[in-house]
Each structure stands twice: as structure tokens, then as C-alpha cells.
Chains A and B, each alone.
Chain A
Amino acid sequence: MKDLSLHILDIIQNSLAANAKLIEISIDENERKDLIEITIKDDGKGMSKEFAESVTDPFTTTRTTRKVGLGIPLLKQNAERTGGCLTIDSQLGQGTIITAAFKPSNIDCPVLGDIAGVISLTVSGNPSIDFVYNHKINDNLFTFNTKEIKEVLGEIPINDNSVYKLLKELIQSNLEEIESIGYKT
């Protein structure tokens, strides 16, 4: 994957395939700690302990269209290449939490990419699913919750083509703002 936002898009697809109804995406970028931590949490069907432990092996997949599953192994490889790591916490019938840590000072660390685009496209492309997106840059947090957005929109569908643009703008302008503030102390 070219950048971290595309990894996030890919990992969200796993949650959707696991029939999640609520997906929480958290990104924590911290320059002082030299850390970018990405967490994707879902309430989908989960995995057994054994399966979750083997899932970073490309030959573990429940796919029927090909023999390898690449999403998680690719993310793990990219995280570890920067000196970071990947952890999976999953419970059958409960859901899954995938956390990937990257060290941004490492030259192998991919850029974050168009996260506002990825989130708004995913929200528009899956109108019946709810998403919470928390993005922290240093000390400043931006929170986005589709339940709130749907409430504001009322009878206007969240996947209307003209809404997508507004959501992207909402995310983008807030990220720009929190990025420009820096540390509180």
C-alpha cells in the first residue's frame, strides 16, 4: 500500500466483511513519542484465539477467491519495517481490535495520505454502518461520529453524492486546524 490511509481503508474492509455494524478508527500522531498509532475496532464476528494468532501469516484467510490474505500481513510488514508493531485482539462473537504502530522518523515510514478522503468515501460507501473516527495530532483531538452526522442530516441520506464532499471538507478543515495548533504545553 502506498500510504497509511490505504492500509486503513483495507483493514476497514475486513471489519465490513466480518459484518461489523460499528467501526471505530483511531489515529494518534505524536511527534514527541515518535509514534503513529492506528487502531481499528469493530463489533464484527471476531476470530478464535488460534485463528487470530495465525492471521499475520499470508496463508491464513477465509477467502475462497484466492489462497492468500494479504491485508494484515502487509500492514504488519510495513509497521515492523519502521520499528513499530502490529497487535490483534479478537474475540469470537465480540469483535476485533487491530493496532498498528509506526515510527514516523524512520525513512521507511509511509506518509499518512488522504485520510479525509478515505473516511468520507467509506462512510458514503457503507451508509448502514456507523463509524467513529478519532484523530489526535500531538495534543489535539478531532472526533467524527456518523451517528451525530445522520442526526443532523435528518432525511437526507448520508450517502447522497453531495454529502460526501461536505464530509470530506469537514474532516479536512479540522485536521488542518488541529495540525496547526501544536502542543498545549
Chain B
Amino acid sequence: MATIKSLDDLRKMKESLQSKINLREKGEDPNSHVQIKVAMATCGIASGAKTVMEFMMEELEKRGIDSIITQTGCMGYCYAEPTIEVTMPGKEPVVFGYVDTKKADEIIEKYIKNGELVDGIIPMNYETIDKK
């Protein structure tokens, strides 16, 4: 694949992007994607949240898992950063702490793919995730 350098290059990619998306969504209910929020306040970033988000973005795409990954503010768990919140379709959100790429890989393979619980879940007692 040629390197994308301009908006025109991006435009040329559109068709193949669209067919990829259609393929993924075929037979799937549109709300069936995994939702992931990565806490991106200062202590999250300082402890590696950017690397974790990047890993999630790249790996979920590679492994063909339909997902939406967003950034969010502080979740109030400075001691456990980086933290991420994972919401499986139709399920309650779960927060994981001390996430590095190894833990993120485990979360994808066990929790997201198979619904198995993994270590590092933080009991939820915060009100809303976006509250600072």
C-alpha cells in the first residue's frame, strides 16, 4: 500500500475503507461494538496511557474486533493509572487499573473475546467518568 500523504490519497482509500467497514458490520447489530475509555489526565499520561491507547487502537483493529476507543478525563484512581473502562455490548462498564500493553493484551484476549474476568478490576464507586 502506498503511503498516505494528502487528502487526495485519503479520498482514494475511501472505497476500501467503506467495504472493510461494511464487512465488519454485516450481520452485526450496530451497537454491538466494544466501548473503551482511556483515562487521559496528567497522571494517566505520565504513567503510560498514551501507549495503552495506541496498543488498543492498533490491536483491536488487527484482531478484527469492532470497537470505539475514546479519551476521557480523570477517573479518580491516580494510584492505579493507567486505567481504562471497558463496556461490552449490553453489559455494565468495568474499570481496569495498572494497564500496560501486557495487561491490555490479556484484557483483549480474555475479557473482550471470551468474557473471562482478569485481574486488575477496580470496584466501581465513582459517579461519572468524566467528572474531574
Contact = CB atoms under 8 A, between A and B. Distances in A.
Contacts of A13: 40-42, 45, 71, 73
Contacts, number: 112
B124 to A, nearest CB: 15
A10 B131 contact: no
Instruction: Classify the interface of chain A: helix, strand, loop or mixed.
Output: helix
A153 B18 CA distance: 9
Contacts of A114: 50
B34 to A, nearest CB: 11
B69 interface: yes
Interface string B40-67: 1111011000100110011011000011
A41 B131 CA distance: 22
A9 B50 contact: yes
B70 A64 contact: no
A131 to B, nearest CB: 12
Nearest to B58: A165
Nearest to B68: A159
Given A64-B132, A173-B3, A17 B73 contact: yes
Given A121-B54, A124-B69, A1 B131 contact: no
Nearest to A70: B42
A63 B71 CA distance: 18
A134 interface: no
B114 to A, nearest CB: 20
Contacts of A163: 17
A9 B131 contact: no
B93 interface: no
A118 B13 CA distance: 22
Interface string A65-94: 110011100100000000000000000000
Interface stretch (B4-12, B96-104, B115-123): B4-12
Interface residues of A, number: 45
A125 B69 contact: yes
A108 interface: no
B10 A9 contact: no
Given A9-B50, A13-B71, 15 more contacts: A13-B42, A13-B73, A62-B132, A63-B74, A64-B132, A71-B41, A124-B57, A125-B69, A126-B70, A126-B71, A152-B7, A153-B10, A156-B18, A160-B17, A166-B10
Interface of A: 1, 6, 9-10, 13, 16-17, 62-66, 69-71, 74, 114, 117-118, 121-122, 124-127, 148-149, 152-156, 159-166, 169-170, 173-174, 177
29 contacts: A6-B45, A9-B40, A9-B45, A9-B50, A10-B41, A16-B71, A16-B73, A64-B132, A65-B76, A65-B131, A69-B42, A117-B50, A121-B54, A121-B57, A124-B69, A152-B11, A155-B18, A156-B18, A159-B70, A160-B21, A161-B57, A162-B21, A162-B61, A164-B57, A165-B58, A166-B13, A166-B17, A170-B5, A170-B10
